[in-house]
Structure 1
Amino acid sequence: MIEKVFRSDDVPSVDRFDAWRKRLARDISPLNSHSDQGNAFRAETRLLRLGDSRVWSTVVDPTAIRRTPELTRQSDPGVYTLILPLSGGNEVAQAGREAVHGPFDMHVLDPSRPVRLRLLGNPSVHLIGVDVPKAGFPLPAAWMDQLLTRRLPGREGVGALLSGFLLQLTHDTSSFRPSDSPRLEAALLELLTALFAHHLDADGNSVPNSARRALVLQIQTFIRQHLQDPRLTPPTIAAAHHISVSYLHRVFQGEGITVSSWIREQRLANARRDLADPTLRSTPIHIIASRWGFPRAADFSRAFRNAHGISPKDYRDHASTQLPPPPARDTRQVDPPHRHQPRLP
């Protein structure tokens, strides 16, 4: 878990708004923003990195924010953003829809597309934001499009579970260890998926076959928990869930990717995160590869280059320069179903 903190009070008043805007551009995504507060502008932002996901909490003076078509063409963060207002609220417009949200009215945005957001507060607005990568996210993009700007209540049902998790996560980070990060990210993804699926289910015909979706989520959770085991294969996964290998492949057909490809994507995503982590700079690449289920360094290097168009060493070197590493390419490959026998412990 990596935490960054920005406080406008640490910056000369004449530079506060510009410093805050630049910090958002570097840590989240480039934005056009405006505030009428002038030199009196104040903001405090705390950013937590949980693997490839980000959770950020901010208290900020009223501000207008835009992701213009030009900015979306220049920079695609490749994430979905969930916003949870705690005090104050916001006006949002995206994908031809407009909405006004108050405290605990969660809503989803797609920063890859133009969006207008006006933060409303007296004197300030307090909100929590979550950015999760689109790559590997279990719900299809067409389903996520149905949720953009829509009110997702954060005081009841699954929404209350998610808002409670985010409040606890951002309230006191000192009680968490770095080793908690993968588990916290997995819990976050499961709660987000449960919330989104709940509201899509309420539409009647938006999410077909909820039983299959529940099984897929259960299997994906199992996979994330066992990524470090090189013996993780479709047969062992099927055995753990008391289903046949052929049925496992049929369940995953609706995801547009095979089980083996999904496992490889998750392993590469975790390895990519560790390669960019400055605290792991001295850890040999083959150790990171082995940690995420690639016992043979050559196999890892080949898979990483095929997925991201760059070697693991070059990717790490880019990260160490403090410049953003080259973006991961979405190169999903559909593998034929594995038919080998399970390799059990």
Structure 2
Amino acid sequence: MEWSIDHAPIEGRIDATEAILKDSFQRWSLSSPAKPAAFQAKLRRHELAGASLVCTVTGACVEQSPPGHSSFDDEFCLGLQLNLSGRVQLQQWDTPICEGDMFLWRTDQRQDYEVLERTHSVSLMIPWKLMREHLPGRKQPPAACRIDSHTGVGSLLSQHLMGLAKEIGAVPPSAHVALCRMVIGLLDIALPEPESTTRFTTMAALRERALAYIAQHFQEDDLSPARIAAAHGISLRYLHALFAQGDTTVVGHILESRLQACWRTLV
């Protein structure tokens, strides 16, 4: 689904933007310093295996939303948002969200959100019910927070979101579940402590399966990261992300397993 404010009557542009944001995020109340004819807003939304990928371009404005829910029910959503350009200010943080920054927000909490300049962002709206399905060990939803998008797993997560925003239209629906699972797994690890529940995550379980696969096949000459990734139905980048939290790489673990086998043979 694609929408542009250009399709709305000039005097009804704020109301039209509020309506489209409600359909894609939650109920918002907008005000803009610009004249209605000058206000800018565009939105593109794709469904992704129970989640929604939403790309927006918004001109300077003030947005407010009341909490959508008071309890953690199946309608409550988490919004993972990456700012591609522009600056926004959220009331709970002293410094603005700038280009390349990423944060997590929740539809059950009040949002006071000021777009300081024309902003382009991509958001993944994840129902709490869906997150629980992929991360059964997580008993409580994560708190709203800023996520480091420039290093480590946070960098992988931001790159993945940007890739989805660019290529989602060309991705076959059969791959949507795997892509959604990958984002949720990366998000769980990228959350600041103590929010991360790494030992219980899908990624941790996949890492254990990959280690078991290496233990079973390390003596085979054609064992490679690409083969391991294919055997588990994940991308090569995701496989490397599984090992990023450990003390060795995929190739390093294969070599170590072979060396240990040689040592046991010699002694």
TM-score range, shorter chain: 0.5 to 0.7
SS at match of 1:154: coil
Q: Percent identity?
A: 21
Are the equivalent residues in 2 in contact too, given 1:93–1:99 (CA < 8 A)? no
Deviation at 1:115, TM superposition (A): 1.9
Residues 272-297 of structure 1: CA distance to partner in whole angstroms, max 9, x if unpaired? xxxxxxxxxxxxxxxxxxxxxxxxxx
For residues 52 and 191 of structure 1, the distance between their equivalents in structure 2, rounded to whole angstroms, comes to: 17
Of residues 5, 8, 21, the one that matches 1:24 is 21
Specify the alignment match of 2:149 in structure 1.
154
* TM-score of the two chains, using structure 1 as the length reference: 0.53
Alignment of structure 1 residues 48-67 onto 2, 5 Å: 48-67=46-65
For residues 189 and 161 of structure 1, the distance between their equivalents in structure 2, rounded to whole angstroms, comes to: 12
Give structure 1 regions of 4+ aligned residues with deviation exceeding 6 angstroms.
none
Of residues 73, 98, 104, the one that matches 1:102 is 98
Deviation at 1:93, TM superposition (A): 2.6
Deviation at 1:46, TM superposition (A): 0.9
SS at match of 1:191: helix
SS at match of 2:91: strand
More relative contact order in 1 or in 2 (CA 8 Å, sep 6+)? 2
Deviation at 1:217, TM superposition (A): 4.0
**Structure 2 residues not aligned, in runs of 5+:** 216-267
Does 2:163 correspond to 1:164?
no
Opposite residue 113 of structure 1, the aligned amino acid is: Q
For residues 151 and 38 of structure 1, the distance between their equivalents in structure 2, rounded to whole angstroms, comes to: 32
Are the equivalent residues in 2 in contact too, given 1:85–1:106 (CA < 8 A)? yes
Of residues 16, 33, 48, the one that matches 1:36 is 33
Are the equivalent residues in 1 in contact too, given 2:188–2:197 (CA < 8 A)? no
Change in CA separation of 1:209 and 1:160 when aligned onto 2, cut-off 3 Å? closer
Residues 110-155 of structure 1: CA distance to partner in whole angstroms, max 9, x if unpaired? 110112111221xx1111112112121633436x22xx2x332212
Deviation at 1:177, TM superposition (A): 1.2
Deviation at 1:99, TM superposition (A): 4.6
Are the equivalent residues in 2 in contact too, given 1:81–1:111 (CA < 8 A)? yes
Of residues 108, 111, 117, the one that matches 1:112 is 108
* TM-score of the two chains, using structure 2 as the length reference: 0.67
RMSD value over aligned CA atoms? 3.2
Residues 187-234 of structure 1: CA distance to partner in whole angstroms, max 9, x if unpaired? 1111211211xx21xxxxx36985x335x6444899xxxxxxxxxxxx
Does 2:161 correspond to 1:179?
no
For residues 37 and 99 of structure 1, the distance between their equivalents in structure 2, rounded to whole angstroms, comes to: 24
Are the equivalent residues in 1 in contact too, given 2:188–2:196 (CA < 8 A)? no
Change in CA separation of 1:119 and 1:209 when aligned onto 2, cut-off 3 Å? closer
Change in CA separation of 1:187 and 1:126 when aligned onto 2, cut-off 3 Å? same
Opposite residue 213 of structure 1, the aligned amino acid is: F
Specify the alignment match of 1:8 in structure 2.
5
Deviation at 1:22, TM superposition (A): 0.3
Residues 160-186 of structure 1: CA distance to partner in whole angstroms, max 9, x if unpaired? 111111111111333211222112111
Does 2:127 correspond to 1:133?
yes
For residues 83 and 12 of structure 1, the distance between their equivalents in structure 2, rounded to whole angstroms, comes to: 29
Change in CA separation of 1:118 and 1:181 when aligned onto 2, cut-off 3 Å? same
Are the equivalent residues in 1 in contact too, given 2:14–2:30 (CA < 8 A)? no
User: How many positions carry a matched residue from both structures?
Assistant: 206
SS at match of 1:29: coil
